[in-house]
Structure 1
């Protein structure tokens, strides 16, 4: 990645994942829930899943079985969360708006 050594690449990846986690926490803790922000998170998750599949097929000969399993498991977990978020947005849309606390 841009001529950086592997440890530097992993640091950048870790920082990116940490920032996504902070963003997800911020969106989840804000009331009322902003549907546009949730859709942005869903797009990030779609990107994660697509990138995982591309990574599995592109680096098939380089990855160990444990590495492939880890990438596949993380993509499946992200997919499960994405489905739950879409379901939650549908439920949110069905909920009537009220001004009561």
Structure 2
């Protein structure tokens, strides 16, 4: 009859799958490179997702740390501005007992003439 192959067709069923004989079937072994390629793509996809999630977690941690450092910077900057006011400096000098006094006269410019 036309269209029938002269070779014997094997049935691939559950028995051949469990027994392991399905791996020796030519139809299955021809698809092996394709299956390996799919497995490699799957592995690359999983690795990419894990890397992305790790990076996103690191970005979140860095943002939290950045906010903490910004608030610390604002606090220290405010303290420094408060401590560097002339009245605060004079108060600290008096408390330290250094013996310096605030100038009563405004500063003058010294001019040195070359002879």
Q: What TM-score, normalized to structure 1? A: 0.30
More helix by share: 1
Q: Pick the structure with greater CA Rg.
A: 2
